[in-house]
């Protein structure tokens, strides 16, 4: 994958511990366009896969901010081969806007023989067909700070200026110890490396249990980018990481504070309604042949608990602060109820 995500290199092992490749296309799309890529509605296409936790962040942020009309979205299927993610969900297996069958083609348009990871999320310049950036961490921050002219009315401030120092510190620990920590466990090459990674992961989860025991959100009084970044790992924990990556000291559902926190976010528009459990399980269990040689996708776990009451509102705060929740997702971007039992026919989490 890439730093935030293991695409073509997802099954790479190292002799001791797993090291993520963090080399990305770091061009930025900015309000002033000082790097040659100005914010311009309709010009770019966000390419994602619902299976991928790093891409799921971008899906959530785009929806929370209401950028659907300004930034279109192409959705790859849950699996990929050595040639990258494919648009196999679209008629004819071709993205209807980019007119390509796989995201690799957009990387090759940017640089013939592109030598690095072919990853999602990626933002593609539609006129040229070139990937602008796949720097997933910066993509979501820029959606919050550079695309403000196109945010919906009532959009939350996901990266408040007055909280950024604290947020950056918290998000760094979440990334190194949790988001990437589950991968260090799953792709460890030795018993010692696995056990060290396992211990690091659960030290961090215990820290989060303590931090969130007396506060509804990670930083501040409403949802921020920090919550988005943690959520996509928590949403995959019981379905994939507990068994597939051997992160099995406890399930998420056995960590009372984190489980309630995750349910609170899941039931908030933008989170659970972008979560495709079928794609998540199929991706990890089918693509990671070194970890799961049979390719068998487990039927469990029971996912019905995601809609149970969480009582987190008693801690104060509110999801959107002075803002408002996004409306229902558009028909073409709804998660199928068959893929997420908590979703209704309108693509929203059931009350």
Beta-bridge mates of residue 2: 5
Both structure tokens of 232: 């996509």
Beta-strand ranges (E) seen in 239-322 are none
Q: Which of 183, 198, 241, 261 is catalytic?
A: 183
Residues 110 and 181: their CA atoms lie apart, in Å, by 31
- The β-bridge partners of 349 are 343
d(CA 213, CA 311): 12
Residues with Cβ within 8 Å of 169's Cβ and at least 6 positions away in sequence, in order, are: none
- Answer yes or no: 194 catalytic: no
- Which one-letter DSSP state was computed for residue 212? H
From the candidates 18, 24, 44, 52, give the one annotated as an active-site residue: 52
Closest to 242 in 3D by CA, of 293, 298, 196: 298
Angle at 76 between CA 125 and CA 299, to 5 degrees: 160
**Does residue 306 have a known ligand-binding role?**
no
Q: Considering all CA atoms of the chain, what is the largest pairwise distance in Å, rounded to the nearest integer? A: 55
What does the block give as tokens for 106?
């957009």
Active site residue 76: no
Binding residues for glutathione: 85
Annotated catalytic sites, by residue? 52, 183
Binding site membership: which residues?
A: 85
């Amino acid at each position: 994958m890439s730093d935030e995500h293991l695409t073509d290199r997802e099954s790479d092992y190292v002799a001791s511990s797993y090291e993520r490749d963090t080399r990305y296309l770091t061009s930025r799309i900015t309000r002033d366009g000082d790097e040659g890529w100005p914010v311009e509605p309709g010009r770019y296409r966000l390419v994602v896969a619902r299976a991928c936790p790093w891409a799921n962040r971008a899906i959530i942020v785009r929806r929370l901010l209401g950028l659907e009309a300004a930034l279109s979205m192409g959705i790859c299927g849950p699996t990929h081969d050595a040639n990258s993610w494919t648009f196999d969900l679209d008629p004819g297996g071709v993205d209807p806007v980019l007119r390509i069958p796989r995201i690799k083609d957009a990387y090759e348009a940017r640089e013939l023989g592109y030598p690095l990871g072919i990853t999602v999320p990626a933002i593609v310049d539609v006129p040229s067909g070139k990937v602008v950036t796949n720097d997933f961490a910066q993509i979501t921050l820029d959606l919050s700070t550079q695309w403000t002219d196109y945010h919906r009315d009532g959009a939350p401030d996901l990266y408040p200026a007055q909280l950024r120092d604290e947020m950056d510190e918290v998000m760094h620990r979440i990334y190194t110890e949790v988001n990437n920590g589950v991968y260090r466990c799953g792709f460890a090459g030795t018993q010692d490396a696995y056990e060290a990674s396992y211990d690091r992961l659960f030290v961090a989860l215990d820290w989060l249990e303590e931090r969130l025991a007396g506060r509804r959100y990670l930083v501040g009084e409403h949802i921020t980018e920090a919550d988005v970044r943690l959520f996509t790992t928590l949403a995959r924990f019981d379905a994939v990481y507990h068994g597939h990556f051997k992160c099995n000291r406890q399930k998420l559902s056995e960590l009372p504070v984190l489980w309630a926190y995750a349910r609170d976010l899941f039931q908030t528009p933008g989170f659970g309604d972008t979560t495709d459990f079928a794609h998540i399980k199929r991706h990890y269990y089918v693509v990671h042949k070194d970890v799961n040689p049979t390719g068998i996708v487990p039927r469990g776990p029971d996912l019905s608990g995601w809609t149970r009451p969480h009582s987190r509102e008693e801690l104060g705060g509110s999801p959107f602060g002075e803002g408002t929740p996004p409306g229902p997702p558009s028909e073409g971007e709804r998660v199928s109820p068959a893929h997420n039992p908590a979703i209704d026919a309108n693509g929203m989490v059931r009350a």
